[in-house]
Structure 1
Amino acid sequence: MTHSSQDKLVPSSIPGLGVIIMAAGLGKRMKSALAKVLHPVGGRPMVMYVLDIACSLAEQGVAVVVGHQGAEVRKVVEAVGDQVAVAEQTKQLGTGHAVLQARPVFSGGSHRKPSRYVILNGDTPLLTEATVRELLAMHDAQGAAVTLLTAVLDDASGYGRVIRRRRDEWLQGAADNAVQSIVEDKDASEAERAVREINVGTYVVDGEFLFPALDTLDPRNAQGEYYLTDIVQMAVQQGRTVSALRLRDIDEGLGINSRVQLAEAEGVIRRRIQERWLEAGVTMRDPASTWIDAEVTIGRDTVLYPNVTLEGRTAIGESVVVHSGARITDCAIGDRVEILDHCILRESQVEEDCHLGPFVHLRPGVIARRKAKVGNFVEMKKTELGEGSKANHLSYLGDATIGSGVNIGAGTITCNYDGYKKFHTVVGDGVFIGSDVQLVAPVTVGQGSIIAAGATVTQDVPKDALVIARVPQVTREGWAARRRALQSGQVPPPAPEVKAATSAKTVTRAKISTRAKASTSAKRAVKKKQPAVQRSKRR
């Protein structure tokens, strides 16, 4: 199975750079029991987007500062690898206090002391690596102590304002983009609130300056917190340069603090994903209704019909056709597979040239080998369907290994659960199973065998055998007419002779059996009478 994706040049990490990610916030406006940074965007926790950037850039490691639901956040971020370390903010005392908790991560160990730090927020999943690299380039070019990312909004209410130097100051030699301070919205004056340039919350800070500046923070402000933004004014007071890069795409600066903002970010991420796969050679009949998670991969010449959902780490091969209403989660789909409407697939593997649907349900653990067919209203779980095998109609196959070239008749089920344990069913190559068959596990059906329609198989079947396991047909002629007559209060017609045989030979055998039974009964009666006669003769 081959996959295509947009070709990428993998940039190298930046020497001397450490990255700090703030992921400790409560996220009160989310109104959720889940930590804000763990809310999914495009199918993955939002903090993972920022973590990807951090791991790509940082030569000297990444520190993630956790707080609210720290154990859950830690579990997610530490799974990335040894490059990531976790620092804990036990009390929520502000952004400056949060960054200060990362100092032990960069003190000793295998990492050298970073020459500069990038500080990111865990709730900005739309930020791109290219923008952070541009921010770093500006910081280095201007020899700044602090460089921050900003955005200009039509409505800046609620955000910290970026206050630049006055015009008369920079005309005397100060840089045009020089920043004087950042003022939080609650602490801003009326004139400062009129400023539309806001602080996005992404910084590059000189390594020698950062932690000494944080040690001197003063929490005397409207919120009683240690503001990270105060280091900007400290740098200015020390005569250091503070630079700022304005975002060209303000979407990148969107910090998620509410469900509304979460939905906005979801829309942006999904548009980016769609555009990426369209450029890579994937056809979408209706991109707006096609949902593709961030970690999905899709091969070229694949066609996605409207209302298709691809989730998790699903990998779709080349020249695959997925029809409307399909939902595929954490699956591997081979080349040239066709998936018809309204199929649900989860944690399964479908090899090349298979045909599925409509209305197929593959539960975790299914393997459909190449050229297999799974049809209308078939459910499978922990089952391997062999190469070229077919289960086309109305079947349940669970905990089973099915060989190649097998035909599974309509209505066939594996009875794999006895109320306490699950048991396995094995069907050999080339087996033909008729309609409405029950395979009561544990059971093995040998290669090349034929199971007749309606059979209930409870014992192992040898190779090349025929199994017929059904009750003989009983036909009572006129029974339905008599029943209707009785229900309507009429006199029912006389009952004809019951026919319990299914063929002339069976009828003959039944008559012979009846006569034999009558003869045996007569002989027994004679034997019972004979001793009494003999006794009377002796007397």
Structure 2
Amino acid sequence: MSLSIVILAAGKGTRMRSDLPKVLQPLAHKPLLGYVINASMSVNPSQLVIVYGYGGNLVKKAFPSEHIQWVEQKEQLGTGHAVQQAIPLIKDEGCTLILYGDVPLIDQETIQSLIKKGQKNLVVLTYQKENPKGYGRIVRKDDRIQKIVEEKDCDALQKNIKEINTGIMCAPNHLLKNWLKRLNNQNVQKEYYLTDIVGLSIEDNIEVLSESADNEVSITGINSKFELATMERSYQLMTAKKLMEEGVTIIDPSRIDIRGEVTAGQDVLIDVGCIFEGKVILGNHVKIAAYSHVKDSVIGDHTSIEPYSHIVQSVIGENCRIGPFARLRPGTKLQNKVHIGNFVEIKNSEVNNETNINHLSYVGDSLVGKSVNIGAGAITCNYDGANKHPTTIEDDVFIGSNTALVAPIKIGKGATIAAGSTITKDAPPGELTVSRSKQTSISGWTKPTKK
């Protein structure tokens, strides 16, 4: 059967107090609407229609998929009115699932259950909420749904009902189209409520079915920055739980942020305050120490990332030790048994096996060989003010502290560069190269005094 999905995403989100449309507010660095689109596409709908409104150009630009049909709701006249805008695009056969762009964590299993029940009947997604304030209530008689009453229209008895309407529903297209034509705005808000189709279904002697959500977070909408932050924590806990079920040790799952996808091997340990972005792959026995930030990177087996390290678009081999306070910038590739120490920055460089860059150094646009030692404060001067230039350091080289290697330059195999040197020419292999100005002491010199 043909499946259409309509996502309502026209609201401004006034309580967000933001120029950014509500459905583009970020959850784990991804727009809210993106989660709903992904959940929708997971069930392979025949068509996906998004009803947009405020900030429409921004919303459409954020999701330039050819699989999405867009329709504008120029006036905000209620949820029923929003679906009415999409109806001209919906086929007569099949069924339609209605989702919301600010309810990001709706899951595939729930969607599939709704679709199964919504082939011949209207089915609504409900939830038993301990504090139902602000939600429409499900009114039943003999366990059958009779109507949905919005909070503002509830009488005293109806306000005590704990079963709430999530707004998410599925219905056969020919019935849905008929009901939408019959909607009116005779209510306190003077809006066209989508929930009124429940009464119309009963009026037509068609039973209204229900599906109960398994957890509250999957049906929770976001309307404010506080609710967004609360959802962020819920999402992070869910993601951390999934990793822990796969065997990852997370010291405190309430203090981790995963803003993308993390794949981990066996016996991985993640300490508190770590942030993961994009696609991160962690090998077996990897340790990520406190407050480290890893983005779009691969970390090999038995490698340890020490506290406060920052790693972006890098590939790290096995048995390496990085940090603390190390920074690996895009294009960094480390082979095995490499040590990158505190306050060392590597950019767009390959560092081969068993090389040590222990502290306070910068290596950029470089190829560093095996068993190299780069001393404290040594840097590659790769930028001439207009262009970047490469540095090659061959195997078994020793670079003394506070050395400046002015690129383009090559340091030969087994060479030693004396501390404090500024090297502007290639250094021959196996020899000591020194480049310092003559040391001079000036007699009779006095220190300046403070004025």
- Whether TM exceeds 0.5 here: the answer is yes
Instruction: Show the counterpart of 1:534.
Output: none
Instruction: Show the counterpart of 1:67.
Output: 53
User: How many Å separate the matches in 1 of 2:89 and 2:300?
Assistant: 44
Alignment pair present for 1:468 and 2:423: no
Letter in 1 for 2:341: G
* 1:368 alignment partner, one of 323, 328, 334: 334
User: How many Å separate the matches in 2 of 1:446 and 1:87?
Assistant: 65
User: How many Å separate the matches in 1 of 2:31 and 2:212?
Assistant: 27
User: How many Å separate the matches in 2 of 1:317 and 1:20?
Assistant: 41
State which drifts further: 240-249 or 197-206.
240-249
- 1:156-212 CA-to-partner distances (Å, cap 9, x unmatched) read 2322222223xxxx4xxxxx2x32222222333444434332211110111222233
- 1:267-321 CA-to-partner distances (Å, cap 9, x unmatched) read 2222211211111111122333233335222222111123322233222222101
Instruction: Show the counterpart of 1:150.
Output: 126
% identical equivalent positions? 37
Contact 1:125 1:265 in 2 (8 A): no
* 2:393 alignment partner, one of 415, 420, 427: 427
Change (3 A) 1:131 1:151: same
* 1:115 alignment partner, one of 69, 94, 97: 94
Instruction: Show the counterpart of 1:238.
Output: 204
Alignment pair present for 1:133 and 2:133: no
Query: For the aligned residues, what is the CA RMSD?
Result: 2.7
TM superposition shift of 1:82: 4.6
TM superposition shift of 1:139: 3.7
Change (3 A) 1:87 1:313: farther
TM superposition shift of 1:356: 0.4
User: How many Å separate the matches in 2 of 1:409 and 1:105?
Assistant: 67
Contact 1:19 1:58 in 2 (8 A): no
Instruction: Show the counterpart of 1:92.
Output: 76
Instruction: Show the counterpart of 1:359.
Output: 325
TM superposition shift of 1:434: 1.6
- 3-state SS in 1 of match to 2:231: helix
TM superposition shift of 1:24: 2.0
TM superposition shift of 1:220: 4.3
Alignment pair present for 1:255 and 2:241: no
TM superposition shift of 1:377: 1.0
Contact 1:308 1:327 in 2 (8 A): yes
* 2:383 alignment partner, one of 412, 417, 420: 417
Instruction: Show the counterpart of 1:320.
Output: 286
User: How many Å separate the matches in 2 of 1:299 and 1:451?
Assistant: 41
Letter in 2 for 1:147: V
TM superposition shift of 1:266: 1.9
User: How many Å separate the matches in 1 of 2:334 and 2:88?
Assistant: 51
Change (3 A) 1:428 1:180: same
State which drifts further: 15-24 or 442-451.
442-451
Q: TM-score, normalised by structure 2?
A: 0.90
State which drifts further: 337-346 or 417-426.
417-426
Change (3 A) 1:425 1:226: farther
TM superposition shift of 1:230: 2.1
- 3-state SS in 2 of match to 1:288: coil
TM superposition shift of 1:96: 2.2
- 3-state SS in 1 of match to 2:63: helix
- 3-state SS in 2 of match to 1:209: helix
Contact 1:60 1:114 in 2 (8 A): no
Letter in 1 for 2:225: R
* 1:46 alignment partner, one of 15, 29, 32: 32
Contact 2:233 2:254 in 1 (8 A): no
Change (3 A) 1:136 1:463: same
Q: How does 1:153-232 map to 2 (within 5 A)?
A: 153-165=129-141, 170=142, 176=143, 178-232=144-198
Alignment pair present for 1:20 and 2:6: yes
Letter in 1 for 2:127: A
Change (3 A) 1:365 1:185: same
- 1:394-423 CA-to-partner distances (Å, cap 9, x unmatched) read 101223333333322211112233344443
Contact 2:95 2:118 in 1 (8 A): no
Would you say how many aligned residue pairs link Structure 1 and Structure 2? 449
Letter in 2 for 1:100: Q
Contact 1:43 1:312 in 2 (8 A): no
Letter in 1 for 2:259: D
Letter in 2 for 1:308: C
TM superposition shift of 1:463: 4.9
- 3-state SS in 2 of match to 1:126: coil
- 3-state SS in 2 of match to 1:312: strand
User: How many Å separate the matches in 1 of 2:410 and 2:57?
Assistant: 47
Contact 1:96 1:217 in 2 (8 A): yes
Contact 2:90 2:173 in 1 (8 A): no
Change (3 A) 1:48 1:403: same
Letter in 2 for 1:262: L
Letter in 1 for 2:123: T
User: How many Å separate the matches in 2 of 1:105 and 1:402?
Assistant: 60
Letter in 2 for 1:30: M
- 3-state SS in 1 of match to 2:194: coil
Change (3 A) 1:365 1:180: same
Instruction: Show the counterpart of 1:524.
Output: none
Contact 1:301 1:320 in 2 (8 A): yes
Letter in 1 for 2:4: G
User: How many Å separate the matches in 1 of 2:36 and 2:352?
Assistant: 43
TM superposition shift of 1:126: 3.1
The answer for unaligned runs of 5 or more in structure 1 is: 1-14, 108-112, 171-175, 488-539
TM superposition shift of 1:483: 4.6
Contact 2:236 2:254 in 1 (8 A): no
User: How many Å separate the matches in 2 of 1:103 and 1:138?
Assistant: 21
Letter in 1 for 2:402: D
Letter in 1 for 2:16: M
TM superposition shift of 1:464: 4.8
User: How many Å separate the matches in 1 of 2:440 and 2:87?
Assistant: 86
TM superposition shift of 1:98: 2.3
Contact 1:365 1:382 in 2 (8 A): yes
Contact 1:55 1:83 in 2 (8 A): no
The answer for unaligned runs of 5 or more in structure 2 is: none
Letter in 1 for 2:136: G
Letter in 1 for 2:109: A
Letter in 1 for 2:54: H
